[in-house]
Structure 1
Amino acid sequence: MLRYLLYKEINEEKWNDCVSASTERIVYAFSWYLNTVCMRWDAVVEEQEGRYVSVFPLPLGRRWGQLGVLQPYFTQQLGLFTTKNTKHKNIEAYFELIPDRCKSIYLQLNTENSKVIADVEKYDQAERVTFHLDLKPKYEDLLNSYRNRHKLNKAKRASLQIKPLDNINPLVSIFKATKGKELREVKEKHYRLLARLYAILKQQNAAELLQAVDHEENTLAAALFIVQPEKIIFLFSGSSEEGRKAAAMTLILDHVISRYAGSNRVLDFEGSMVPSVAKFYANFGAAPVAYVSLSKQHKPWYLKWKEAISIS
């Protein structure tokens, strides 16, 4: 039987055991991750003989002043997580238990959900794409699959070095000075959230923070990776203007690929829907993998009225 559980009713040990055993296992769904990126989250859970056998996290937030189920920052995919004992595999059954008080809904399901999802009534569906690189082959074979080697050669000619970074502030500073200026929706609260998330990932031995430095030890680029037994996620990165010219991010990614080559892992580049970024990831030999977003928007009467006035 499926049940809607408030956060205070969720047994986190049972929850994490279910996520660990799930076919769709991904770091974003563990309770410690959700506790960090969400102000609050509830869930729909299937329980059998005292164990959770499927879970569907519902991160809660507010849009236009109304409560909704909304995808958190730094969390590309959630959705349904099932085990071999799951009886309820119809995603619509989980959505039906979302309370009516949640007026707006926007959720990005995981890539495994995308293989079985059918039309979910009342929700708009859109396909999104991430890029995966299988790291099982040895590094020489992965290197040969690169579609554009000149950037890597450029970075090597610049004599850049890859070093660990134990503080996320340099990465945040680089991002603020470059891409952050273009993204007005990214605010100080999001940078604070990233710092908290990095601290939690370190506690879980799941963070790898790397930098590319020049001969004067200046940080030209930095990137945060989430390292899990089955997957490495390219979570957040920043590159200075000098770093872009020297292809510093290419060198960081190549370092990660060479380090984990031959392992039973996948490098998840976390996107992108932007063609130029997608091409950059594809140049490493990564392949596009689809996932689906589901949304239902409810605007309060006063916003509908305002829009009607503006177009009349």
Structure 2
Amino acid sequence: MYDLRYIENENVDKPKWDALVSSSDHSLIFNNYDYLNAFCVWDALVLEDYAGAIPLPRMEKTGYLKLYQPPFIQKCNWIGTALTPELIAQIWNIIKSKFAHVHFNSNIIFGNISSPRINLILPISTLDKNQKKYSKSLRKNIIKVTSLNLITDQSQVKITAELYKNAYGDLNRQLNNEAYASLILLVNKKPEMFLNCIVLNHDKTVAALLFAKYNNRLHYILGAPNEQGRKLNALSFGINHVISMHQNQNYILDFEGSMIPSVKDYYKSFGSFDEPFYETNWCTPWLKLLLKTYKRLKRS
């Protein structure tokens, strides 16, 4: 039996949490204390004296607690001490004792209630080596554009959010105005954790991209063109430029993947490959019956 404790948010030791995150080779921006606080209320499972841990975003529903995946937090990974089957079993036993509904992503497989999700990453070496792995059409689209320029300006993150909402908001309704406002506030508060790129065509904005920077990894958080930018392949230009900016620095570009075939194929055209994570979906029998009954009544 491991010394594993469930710790509520107000009792998480921030200095010890930060020390664990900074010392772990596999920690992501989504493990960062300030990043988590920006988007959710979260508790944690902590091993011993912060030898290992996993954040657990929680949502209070009527009569029960839900473990969920907040906006702009792709997954909640276990970091620190290596996982064992016994430790995984203990983690799950505590989770299901605390939450009636679980729908979240992590690097842990909890048996057949967990399924793999696509996460596409691209190690950045040199621009020349990376471009050799681009698809022919991608290389052609980037080469033929000569009028575009890119600037980095974290203070213009609101422009990036607005472009994304206009282009893809209807496809991502889970991202509400509160989520965008929280993201903008965090970028303004912690600009060193982000890279906000504005793509210009003759000094006019045609696309914007936002990356979170942490532990030599660039997480592609948002990116969208306007109508002119789409015609000019401005997003491809922007991603290529970001790769150029970070060559020879041991960075990984994390596209965060997509289950949408066209988006997945676009990210793969840069030469990216899959580094999967796992989606866990579970609820207690009584809640499953209650939700099923509610849906049936709603349809009638």
Q: Is TM more than 0.5 here?
A: yes
Describe the shift of the 1:308–1:42 C-alpha distance in structure 2 as closer, same or farther (beyond 3 A).
same
Describe the shift of the 1:12–1:310 C-alpha distance in structure 2 as closer, same or farther (beyond 3 A).
closer
**Does the CA contact (< 8 Å) of 1:79 and 1:107 recur in 2?**
no
Partner of 1:43: 44
Q: Secondary structure at the match of 1:96?
A: helix
Describe the shift of the 1:243–1:29 C-alpha distance in structure 2 as closer, same or farther (beyond 3 A).
same
**Does the CA contact (< 8 Å) of 1:80 and 1:91 recur in 2?**
no
Describe the shift of the 1:64–1:125 C-alpha distance in structure 2 as closer, same or farther (beyond 3 A).
farther
Partner of 1:174: 163
**Does the CA contact (< 8 Å) of 1:108 and 1:293 recur in 2?**
yes
Please state how far the C-alpha of 1:309 moved relative to its aligned partner.
4.4
Partner of 1:235: 221
Please state how far the C-alpha of 1:307 moved relative to its aligned partner.
3.2
Describe the shift of the 1:15–1:240 C-alpha distance in structure 2 as closer, same or farther (beyond 3 A).
same
Q: When the two structures are superposed, what TM-score results if normalisation uses the length of structure 2?
A: 0.89
**Which of 92, 95, 106 is the equivalent residue of 1:98?**
95
| Paired amino acid for 1:234 | Y
**Which of 182, 186, 191 is the equivalent residue of 2:180?**
191
| Paired amino acid for 2:120 | F
**Which of 196, 202, 207 is the equivalent residue of 1:209?**
196
Q: Secondary structure at the match of 1:264?
A: coil
Q: 1-side partners of 2:9 and 2:260: how far apart?
A: 35
Q: 2-side partners of 1:287 and 1:239: how far apart?
A: 24
- The yes-or-no answer on 1:79 pairing with 2:96 is no
Please state how far the C-alpha of 1:200 moved relative to its aligned partner.
3.7
Partner of 1:149: 139
Q: 2-side partners of 1:138 and 1:45: how far apart?
A: 39
**Does the CA contact (< 8 Å) of 1:146 and 1:283 recur in 2?**
yes
Please state how far the C-alpha of 1:300 moved relative to its aligned partner.
6.9
Partner of 2:56: 58
**Does the CA contact (< 8 Å) of 1:56 and 1:94 recur in 2?**
no
Give aligned pairs, total.
293
**Which of 306, 309, 312 is the equivalent residue of 2:294?**
306
| Paired amino acid for 2:117 | R
Please state how far the C-alpha of 1:276 moved relative to its aligned partner.
0.7
**Which of 4, 7, 10 is the equivalent residue of 1:5?**
7
Q: Percent of counterpart pairs with the same letter?
A: 26
Q: Secondary structure at the match of 2:16?
A: helix
Describe the shift of the 1:87–1:310 C-alpha distance in structure 2 as closer, same or farther (beyond 3 A).
closer
> Quick check: which one's helix share is greater?
2
Long gaps (5+) in structure 1: none
Q: Secondary structure at the match of 1:168?
A: helix
